Structure 1
Amino acid sequence: MNDIEKLRKKIDEIDAEILNLLNQRTELALQIGKVKSQNNDNVYVPHREKAIIERLKSLNTGRFPNNALEATYREIFSASRSLEKPISVAYLGPEGSFGHAASIKHFGSSTNYIPIQPQIDIFIEVESGRADYGVVAIENSLDGGIRETQDMFMESNLQICAEIMMPVSHNLLSNSPAEKVKKIYSHPQPFAQCRNWLRNNFKNAEQIAVSSTSEAAMLAAEEENAAAIASKLAAKLYGVKILYEGIQDRFDNMTRFVVIGKHCGGKSNDDKTSIIFAVKDRVGALCEVLEIFRNHNINLAKIQSRPSRTKPWDYVFFTDLEGHIEDKTVKATLDDLEDRCPFFKFLGSYPRA
């Protein structure tokens, strides 16, 4: 037996041990699932999942990358949930969209996914109980808040359970050689985000806007000499080769997704709280409200104004702050805001991504 065979034999032994431990873990998770069922508790517990991942990262002194560690455990959580009680998650479809990729990143592959269009219908699916949770884009690091989602939070009673950060990474997909590509399909936003790369590499190719990157991948799969700007997931689902990876002009672009459900969860000790509030129409009203945060020593992660859509030139403020509603200082802050603001809405407390 040569050195490689000896090392592979050792890996096989370790793999068998890992499998045995995974099955032991699964049995314990199923026992917990029975208790959850008796207490009518949720199967999906994001603050517990966050705590497990952070604890393991702190213990990880080897070469196994922390991002791979998290992805591995997301799949373990997903498999355990599917055996306890399968959950369904709605996202902005069709299959292969960035919303689909964000959902899989967070909930893993052992989950029932429901592609929905348009995005506002994701809220309806969850409110009606046809889906347990929804995943919606709420903010982009370059373009700011996503109005459609913010408007739905004004109307809906659903809460934010978790957040997912997704780097915006675009790829050129085609089953034809690069030199034969005559037209490129994509959504208008990826075209804008890849403008310089396309000018330098495919300036003569016709750019055709379609409703989604998933549709673009479908068309590229069906047509000769056609390409698409889409995700790696779309390439896999629709059987299109990746000609070029990471063709976006900027590499600091992130989209923030949130998980929506009927209730938010408990503390992870590294949390955010999202709220909406309005202020009275008089000089200094916003300063007085911001003083509440300072008095309670609460740090704001984001504050953004949006038209209230109730009357002209009336605005509300979408705000993210550090901490959880179960923290005494956060609860006191929110109570003061509710007393002082003509409009106040709690959107949820959830683990920071």
Structure 2
Amino acid sequence: MKLEDYRNLLDQIDDQILTLLQERAAIVKRVGEFKSRTGVERIYAPHREREILSRLEAQNRGQFPSDGLHTIYTEIISACRALERPLSIAFLGPAGSFGHAVSSHLFGKSVKFVAVTPQPDIFTTVESGRADYGVVAIENSTHGTVRDVLEMFQYTNLQICGECFLPIKQHLLSKSPLAQIKKIYSHPQAFAQCRQWLGQNMSGVQQIEVSSTSEAAKLAASEPNTAAVAGQLAGETYGLSVVGESIMDGPNNTTRFLVIGSHSAARTGRDRTSILFAVKDKVGALWEVLQVLKNYKVNMSKIESLPSHTKAWEYVFFVDLEGHAEDGNVRKALTEINELCVMMKILGTYPIGEQSEGF
């Protein structure tokens, strides 16, 4: 066969792909009409999307790159979802932040992105209806919990409906050579993740904390002899060059992001449930709650205390449990915990997040 023959075959395959995409779009529109008739409002269904991607990856057998398959189908699902109703996604702005990158990774590009600053305001943006979902950073493997986000769960009725683990690659970005940099902007978490490198290579250079790494990049792009600690997308967005590559102190620097919205997700068989509770003021109260989890064989993957804002020197506990809230053992455990506590609420039940590529 000649080269032109191979190209003709590829053209035929592309025509078939387009025909099938059009058929898929037509079915999605009918699904949207069915949801409207039956009162089903959910557009984003992370459990269903996980099911689709897992099934396709299992059938792929290595003929097509797995990462490419995930990217393509994320965009196909995103475009089809927009046929039902375009979604708006709030993230920590401005454009180019890690939250922006994760939002695009999870929802595709056929959505409206809403940049919000500071991060806790993402909750009010979703609650008010200015965005359908929000993406917030909850913890980092190097620097721990993002406290201002964790505290917001005491006040909101929003549910966690998804999560994503993102390997964070921090770079030193600038329009100036390294030796000419007199000032560095970044988010406090980013500075903390790169403390050792900055101490060894940028000693004496002023460090200024701002609301996000993308805000840092935006400032660095507008001021001479200035740099930002931020990710690759921020550099590309604001025209900055990498003058210090992968400057994180830990090679496995990863941030966990949560998707918040008005609903939880259905069961996938590999799920997580997050709860918030306050124990009674008595000896062994927390032990009793932990004993319930042991009795029902529910694994606890995270526990963190927060000051209660209802009474001084009292605390509430944020806990991640393995399993869906509708699983028999989890459901029974939550019922007993609720009886033991002065307050307990389910913050969300959702598919355990996959590790995505670093940005």
Partner of 1:24: 23
- Deviation string, structure 1 residues 108-152 (Cα, Å, up to 9, x no partner): 111111111222221112112221111111122223222212221
Q: Does 1:333 align with 2:333?
A: yes
Q: Tell whether the 8 Å contact from 1:273 to 1:348 is kept in structure 2 after alignment.
A: yes
Matches within 5 A, 1:305-344: 305-344=305-344
Q: Secondary structure at the match of 1:173?
A: strand
TM-score, scaled relative to structure 1: 0.91
- Deviation string, structure 1 residues 162-213 (Cα, Å, up to 9, x no partner): 1121112112323344555454332343233223334555557554443332
Q: Which sits farther off after the overlay, 17-26 or 178-187?
A: 178-187
Partner of 1:58: 58
Q: Tell whether the 8 Å contact from 2:293 to 2:299 is kept in structure 1 after alignment.
A: yes
Distance in 2 of aligned mates of 1:61 and 1:244: 38
**Aligned CA-pair RMSD:** 2.3
Deviation at 1:88, TM superposition (A): 1.0
Deviation at 1:104, TM superposition (A): 1.2
Letter in 1 for 2:71: A
TM-score, scaled relative to structure 2: 0.89
Change (3 A) 1:228 1:16: farther
Matches within 5 A, 1:59-74: 59-74=59-74
Letter in 1 for 2:27: L
Matches within 5 A, 1:117-266: 117-178=117-178, 180-203=180-203, 206-266=206-266
Change (3 A) 1:323 1:16: same
Distance in 2 of aligned mates of 1:78 and 1:247: 33
Distance in 2 of aligned mates of 1:179 and 1:45: 49
Equivalent residues, number:
352
Matches within 5 A, 1:249-288: 249-288=249-288
Q: Tell whether the 8 Å contact from 1:36 to 1:43 is kept in structure 2 after alignment.
A: no
Q: Tell whether the 8 Å contact from 1:306 to 1:316 is kept in structure 2 after alignment.
A: yes
Distance in 2 of aligned mates of 1:44 and 1:154: 24
Deviation at 1:309, TM superposition (A): 2.4
Partner of 2:85: 85
Q: Which sits farther off after the overlay, 328-337 or 177-186?
A: 177-186
Deviation at 1:86, TM superposition (A): 0.6
Q: Tell whether the 8 Å contact from 1:168 to 1:251 is kept in structure 2 after alignment.
A: no
Q: Secondary structure at the match of 1:192?
A: helix
- Deviation string, structure 1 residues 233-261 (Cα, Å, up to 9, x no partner): 21222222334442212121211111111
Q: Which sits farther off after the overlay, 224-233 or 97-106?
A: 224-233
Q: Tell whether the 8 Å contact from 2:142 to 2:250 is kept in structure 1 after alignment.
A: no
Change (3 A) 1:310 1:218: same
Q: Tell whether the 8 Å contact from 2:143 to 2:192 is kept in structure 1 after alignment.
A: no
Distance in 2 of aligned mates of 1:307 and 1:200: 36
Letter in 1 for 2:88: S
Change (3 A) 1:217 1:288: same
Change (3 A) 1:16 1:195: farther
Q: Tell whether the 8 Å contact from 2:217 to 2:238 is kept in structure 1 after alignment.
A: yes
Gaps of 5+ in 1: none
Q: Tell whether the 8 Å contact from 1:171 to 1:245 is kept in structure 2 after alignment.
A: yes
Q: Kindly, what percent of the aligned residue pairs are identical?
A: 52
Matches within 5 A, 1:33-44: 33-41=32-40, 42-44=42-44
- Deviation string, structure 1 residues 21-61 (Cα, Å, up to 9, x no partner): 32322222222222122223211111101111111222221
Gaps of 5+ in 2: 354-359
Q: Which sits farther off after the overlay, 80-89 or 68-77?
A: 68-77
